[in-house]
Amino acid sequence: MISLAFPWALLALPLPFLVVKLFPPHREKTPALRVPFFRRVVSAADSEAAAGAVILRRTRVQMVAAVLVWGLLVLAIAQPERLGAPVTVEKSARDVVLALDISGSMDEVDFETPDGEKVQRLAAVQDVVEEFIAAREGDRIGLIVFGSRAFLQAPLTDDLKTISDLVAQTEVGMAGPHTVIGDAIGLAIRTFETSDVEQRLLILLSDGSDTASSMSPINAAEIANSRGVEIHTIGVGDPDAQGENRVDLATLDEIATRTGGNSYFASDQEALTEVYARIDELAPRLVERQTHRPRQALAGYALALAALIGLATLLYLIVAKTNGRRKARANA
């Protein structure tokens, strides 16, 4: 399909005709030399006397070429373009950051698989998280790991394979033995500063209690809420353990409540899978669809054709003039 970007430019097509009709050639009287016996001279020259200046007459070829060139120039100004088939581009309408606790307590082998086998907490979390990431096709995901300190493993990206690989390569103790939930939330807030979408989701998983953060988790949650970040928290591990190895479900619940999110607890791999499935249902993948049609500009073809017509006409006039002179010489 071919369309015009500026169809109003076609209004200029009759402009040369209007100029000729409304503004005829300029005429003015000038002093002239009176020649005796002028009429006899004109009669002897087998010519006719006419008043006014001599106006050069254009040939039919020149007129046709002028009309075609003008029409092509106006068409080029109107910018013809070929429209391609509609193309739909999907853009994520929400950004997700995963914050995983990899403190020393995540090395406990107390997580039960659906087969009844006991596995390491982090290994069970990695399996479930990788499945969750695979189902987020189209979302941008960032990854934070935290222990004694919080580290950004990957900024927000739509390269889900890289995120999944980084999760698989994570090991217990890489970030230290302690737990800094508040700092992890603060780092997530800074990560979301590069986001230009309204919906921002943080999924935070921890198996302990905050012991080393520079900012309390509750204060960090308040800041996150003011920045439009919704936090879902997941507690794993043993609520009856002692010290920092005890999962602080009360704090995790308060963090989620203050940001409009939900708090969950999972004691085995099956329950953890259900938790992530529930989060997926509450926060389904959102996309913004933008449709556009590729446009191929054709104005260049019109200009090239106008130039060819002009050059061909000029060549024709040169050849015709040369032939005329030769005939005149031959007749002389």
pLDDT for res 259: 93
Cα–Cα distance list, 80 to 59, 147, 188 (Å):
31, 61, 49
| C-alpha span between 253 and 300 (Å, rounded) | 65
Cα 103 to the center of its chain, rounded Å: 39
pLDDT for res 134: 85
pLDDT for res 184: 94
Looking at 260-298, list the stretches that DSSP marks H as alpha helix, in order from N- to C-terminal side: 269-282
Counting Cα atoms < 13 Å in the Cβ hemisphere of 305 gives: 15
pLDDT for res 83: 83
Per-residue pLDDT tens digits of the chain, which is 332 residues long: 788 888 898 999 999 888 888 887 766 676 767 777 777 777 777 777 666 555 667 788 888 999 999 999 999 999 888 887 777 656 666 788 999 999 888 888 888 888 878 888 899 899 889 988 888 777 789 999 999 999 999 999 888 899 999 999 999 988 888 889 999 999 999 999 888 777 888 999 998 788 888 889 999 999 999 999 999 999 987 777 776 678 888 999 999 999 999 999 888 888 888 888 887 776 655 556 667 678 888 899 999 999 999 999 999 888 888 887 887 777 75
pLDDT for res 50: 64
Nearest Cα to Cα of residue 29 among 49, 52, 48, 50: 52
Residues 6 or more apart whose CB falls under 8 angstroms from that of 284 comprise none
Can you spell out the DSSP letters for 5-70?
A: S-GGGGGGTTHHHHHHHHSPPP---------TTHHHHHHHTT----SS---PPPPHHHHHHHHHHH
Residues 6 or more apart whose CB falls under 8 angstroms from that of 276 comprise 128, 129, 131, 132, 234
In one letter, which amino acid is 99? A
Counting Cα atoms < 13 Å in the Cβ hemisphere of 197 gives: 18
Cβ pair 220, 252 in contact under 8 A:
no
Would you give the DSSP letter of residue 26? P
Give me the torsion for CA of 160, 124, 216, 250, rounded to 10°: 130
pLDDT for res 142: 93
pLDDT for res 203: 92
pLDDT for res 234: 92
Angle ∠(240,243,244) on CA atoms, nearest 5: 100
| C-alpha span between 80 and 298 (Å, rounded) | 5
Nearest Cα to Cα of residue 206 among 313, 331, 105, 59: 105
**Which pTM was predicted?**
0.61
Cβ pair 181, 75 in contact under 8 A:
no
